[in-house]
Amino acid sequence: MSGDGRDAVMTGTHGGRIEVPLWRRMSGRDPGEPHRVATPLELLSDLCFVIAVAQASTALHHALSEGHAGAGVLGYAMVFFAIWWAWMNFTWFASAYDTDDVAYRLLILVQMAGVLVLAAGVPRAFQERDFVLVTIGYAIMRVALILLWLRAAQEHQEGRRSALRYAFGVAVVQAGWIARLALPERLWLGAFLVMVLAELVVPVWAERFWSTTWHPHHIAERYGLFTIIVLGESLLAATVAVQTGLERRIEAAPLLSTALSGMVIVFAMWWLYYSRPAHLLLTSNRAAFPWGYGHYLIFSSAAAIGAGLAVNVDAHTHVAHLGPLGAGAAVAVPVAAFLASLWLVHVRPHRPGPLLNAAYLTGAAAVLLTPLTGLALPLTAAVMIVLVLIC
């Protein structure tokens, strides 16, 4: 239980109804609070984020199938950064300052609305390079976060300096994102990279003199749940792709191979992610920053698997404008990226032995070679099974 008795109030009932106060002082959660788990509101918010992830994955699928791999991957990386960064900022804030009062819930509702606006703008961003709606949705989310940090600064004096830095930094960077829309299109990529760097610097700067009271077990659970969500989105994309294949009267053998291989690959990814307890790594900001930031690669590659599986179905029905090598790479590349980033962020910090380190890197390299064989999906699934057995 936290020191201000928050959990007692949160779980208190009146006539069989859980009481939610209009306002409760945002004093900061206890980082050692026992039994700290994800809240129903966080899970509901995650559902909005996964809609945006699904839109990005679908747009990547269409871009790859149409033979626009370079533009598709770039657009996916840019859109996914906005989704991931907003989710991550909310997750760490909530771990330290979730008060679960009416005012807090309403601001999270505003953030959820922003996610849905962003998701609605994803197709236009991919097809027309029009990022206006994506930027508006992102701005709505950031305004909600700024107000949350200002509230924390007002009510939690010990963390006031850090909270004000967060609010100021987020506001300035958001102004930069809006200003980016006025730049010529040829400057957008450079401006995007500058703004990404600015976003990444804000938490480092804000936490320099005071560390927010995030909860290691809570953070580890939140990241683990989001990993499951993006893997689930890949399974959904694969299911839709199989359904489309049936409607196009694709032969049973390649369709069955795609479905079974995809399921094995995703299941193995889940198994490998949960093979190491993440909360043991979250001992300080110095350890938490690379772990948290590195999950961009883990999340984005996991979500891209579904797009790759859908591309393989398109290739079998001769809808995709790419050959077997490109179709195989559509799955092999994100799987290899997942293995490499998982090793770098989630496995290597546990200081495993040389055999385990070699297994992950060799596995990633082997997956990258599978498109050259003509049996990319079954061989990738086989490599993942071997890694599960070893790791």
pLDDT digits (tens, 9 = 90+) for 29-75: 888 888 889 999 999 999 999 999 999 999 999 999 998 889 899 99
Q: Find the range with the poorest average confidence among 109-123, 143-157, 190-204, 346-360.
A: 346-360
> Collapsing DSSP states into helix, strand and coil, what is residue 18?
strand
Model confidence at 278, in pLDDT bands (50, 70, 90)?
confident
* 385 in the same domain as 317: yes
Name which residue leads in pLDDT, 113 or 208: 113
Q: Is 126 left (phi over 0), alpha (psi -120 to 50) or beta?
A: alpha
The answer to whether residue 132 sits within a structural domain is yes
* 142 in the same domain as 61: yes
Number of residues written out for the chain: 391
* 193 in the same domain as 46: yes
The reported pLDDT for the residue numbered 5 is 40
* 53 in the same domain as 191: yes
On the CB side of 144, how many CA atoms lie within 13 Å of its CA?
A: 24
Per the CB < 8 A criterion, the answer to whether 140 and 113 are in contact is yes
The answer to whether residue 20 sits within a structural domain is no
Boundary (domain end) residue, out of 206, 232, 252: 206
Q: Which amino acid is at 102?
A: V
* 350 in the same domain as 230: yes
* 374 in the same domain as 245: yes
Boundary (domain end) residue, out of 187, 206, 225: 206
Model confidence at 255, in pLDDT bands (50, 70, 90)?
confident
Separation CA 332–CA 65 (nearest Å): 15
- Cα–Cα–Cα angle for 154, 155, 156, rounded to 5 degrees: 105
The answer to whether residue 379 sits within a structural domain is yes
Name which residue leads in pLDDT, 249 or 386: 386
Tokens coding 37: 């788990």
* 221 in the same domain as 251: yes
The reported pLDDT for the residue numbered 120 is 94
The answer to whether residue 27 sits within a structural domain is no
CATH code, domain carrying 374: 1.20.1410
Instruction: Report which of 386, 390, 257, 276 is spatially closest to residue 327, judged by C-alpha positions.
Output: 257
Average pLDDT over residues 374-378: 89
Average pLDDT over residues 246-256: 73
Percent of the chain with pLDDT over 70: 95
Structural domains counted in the chain? 2
Burial of 222 (0-12, 13-18, 19+ CB in 10 A): buried
The answer to whether residue 310 sits within a structural domain is yes
The answer to whether residue 349 sits within a structural domain is yes
Name every residue whose Cβ is closer than 8 Å to that of residue 200 and which is 6 or more positions away in sequence.
293
Using the predicted structure, report yes or no on whether residue 257 has a pLDDT greater than 90.
Answer: no
The reported pLDDT for the residue numbered 139 is 96
Separation CA 236–CA 229 (nearest Å): 10
The reported pLDDT for the residue numbered 16 is 61
Using the predicted structure, report yes or no on whether residue 7 has a pLDDT greater than 80.
Answer: no
Model confidence at 15, in pLDDT bands (50, 70, 90)?
low
Using the predicted structure, report yes or no on whether residue 189 has a pLDDT greater than 80.
Answer: yes
The answer to whether residue 13 sits within a structural domain is no
* 160 in the same domain as 135: yes
Average pLDDT over residues 200-215: 90
* 154 in the same domain as 261: no
Using the predicted structure, report yes or no on whether residue 283 has a pLDDT greater than 50.
Answer: yes
- Domain range spanning residue 233? 216-390
The answer to whether residue 369 sits within a structural domain is yes
* 231 in the same domain as 157: no
Using the predicted structure, report yes or no on whether residue 113 has a pLDDT greater than 60.
Answer: yes
Q: Find the range with the poorest average confidence among 6-10, 270-274, 292-296.
A: 6-10
* 128 in the same domain as 255: no
Q: Which amino acid is at 297?
A: L
Model confidence at 1, in pLDDT bands (50, 70, 90)?
very low
* 193 in the same domain as 111: yes
Q: Look-up: residue for tokens 């093979």? A: 275
pTM of the model: 0.89
Separation CA 213–CA 93 (nearest Å): 9
Using the predicted structure, report yes or no on whether residue 364 has a pLDDT greater than 70.
Answer: yes
Boundary (domain end) residue, out of 206, 226, 245: 206
What mean pLDDT, rounded, does the chain reach? 89
User: Model confidence over 141-182: pLDDT tens digits?
Assistant: 999 999 999 999 999 988 899 999 999 999 999 999 999 999
